[in-house]
Structure 1
């Protein structure tokens, strides 16, 4: 199974750190954020990684290279213009092939075991969901008996972690350009094509300087 790391965001809420450094290379406890993913993916048995990039993307290629130092083979999908999550994945599909692939947001930090993703996919997507963080209290989706559904008022919700397995068929009717992933997932949910699991371990959406500090505190405590 191949894996894709989404690394094209500007990280505007993390300025000034991201003015001259792409968000995936921002150090967390002395290690670039994206390197945590590469180490974990390698430990989980992944070999082939695709990384998309846009803002200061050449820095990402220069730092990571071909991935050999982690025992990985990295290919890059460079975006000349912002394509959002769905459009970025669609552009990278020729590098990902025809089989289901793992997807990881480059701006999260987690202790999730990516080896859990290396299993047959039933449907078009499998999402890893987490408890709603304080900055996203309404959540995204419902998890019922291993199936994921759109959120409904009055029902308990969970938040999409930015970790998933996707079948390329999810993008069968898409066209090149900028578009979001969430509407495609919701369409698939409506036909029972999205499974899911609840991860209750450490997970942080590193979207602000405050949450970056949260991750560093977690790592320091574990040391």
Structure 2
């Protein structure tokens, strides 16, 4: 099974920790966040992993080499020339990822006790083109899901922005779910990236929202208690305490 780890971020929320190292190599209870995600993927049966790099990317290459790639096949999608965001990063890495099977995508700064194998197989057993991990944490930006957990739109509660603009929202037809930054992507979706809007640098969420009337993009809601965005100091501290206690 194939997976991709987003490890190219600048880590601005974790400065000064990231002034001299990539965010993915910041330690969490004695292990870097990148190591924790790789080992979790490996334990779930993912042995072909693509990692994108940008900020201090050579440090990630050296770290992987020093640890013999943790016993899995690792490929580097090099974005040191231009940081492409999540959607652009997936599209650039397409030659390393595309096969007859879906692949899992996981942010390096997300730590969770989610059963990744069960999550992946839930997608395989459904008719969805993509499955997005979601939770009900408090944020300003939410995915809008219908009663069948199918993506219908997106909203920013702070600004009132709604996408697509013609969506009838606010409405009781939709539930608010926050994106958990883990998703399964079927190769069938690549055909939608042929549109010239989806070239270069772009985020994956506007792309998903744009294609959701045609493609089936589903949510997979979980309890957010043991879901950590360790890309910010306050949550990094909570994750440190949680993993140190295991």
Taking structure 2 as the reference length, the TM-score comes to 0.82
Larger Rg: 2
Q: CA deviation at 1:153?
A: 2.5
**Ranges in structure 1 where 5+ consecutive residues have no aligned partner:** none
Whole-angstrom CA distance in 1 between matches of 2:4 and 2:16: 27
Deviation by residue 1:84-132 (Cα, 9 ceiling, x = unmatched): 1111110000001233110001111111111023322523211111122
Partner Cα separation in structure 2 for residue 106 and residue 112 of structure 1? 14
Partner secondary structure for residue 144 of structure 1 = coil
Q: Give the Cα separation in 2 of the matches to 1:132 and 1:216.
A: 19
Counterpart of 1:142?
145
- Report the CA distance shift for 1:83/1:187 in structure 2 as closer, same or farther (over 3 A): same
Distance 1:69 1:86, change over 3 A: closer
1:138 is displaced (CA, Å) by 4.6
Deviation at 1:143, TM superposition (A): 5.2
Contact 1:143 1:158 in 2 (8 A): no
Q: Could you say what secondary structure the match of 2:92 adopts?
A: helix
**Contact 1:40–1:113 (CA under 8 A) maintained in structure 2:** no
Q: Which runs of 4+ in 1 moved over 6 A?
A: none
Structure 2 counterpart of 1:218: 242
Q: Which residue of 2 aligns with 1:94?
A: 95
Counterpart mapping for 1:36-55 below 5 A? 36-55=36-55
User: Residues 87 and 35 from structure 1, CA distance in 2 versus in 1: closer, same or farther, beyond 3 angstroms?
Assistant: same
SS at match of 2:5: strand
Q: Distance in 1 between matches of 2:238 and 2:215?
A: 36
User: Does 2:89 match 1:84?
Assistant: no
How far apart, in 2, do the equivalents of 1:7 and 1:36 lie? 13
Residue 216 (structure 1) shift: 0.9
Q: 1:37: how far off?
A: 0.8
Name 1:160's counterpart in structure 2. Answer: 179
| SS of residue in 1 equivalent to 2:218 | strand
The Cα of 1:68 is off from its aligned counterpart by 4.3
1:3-33 residue CA offsets vs partner (Å, 9 max, x unmatched): 0001110001110000111000000111101
Q: Over residues 147-179 of structure 1, what are the superposed CA-to-partner deviations in whole Å (9 max), with x where a residue is unaligned?
A: 233244354311110110012332321554111
- Superposed CA RMSD in Å reads 2.0
Q: 1:127 aligns with which of 127, 132, 146?
A: 132
Which residue pairs with 1:178 in the alignment?
Answer: 201
Q: Is the 8 A contact 1:25 1:60 kept in 2?
A: yes
TM-score (norm 1): 0.90
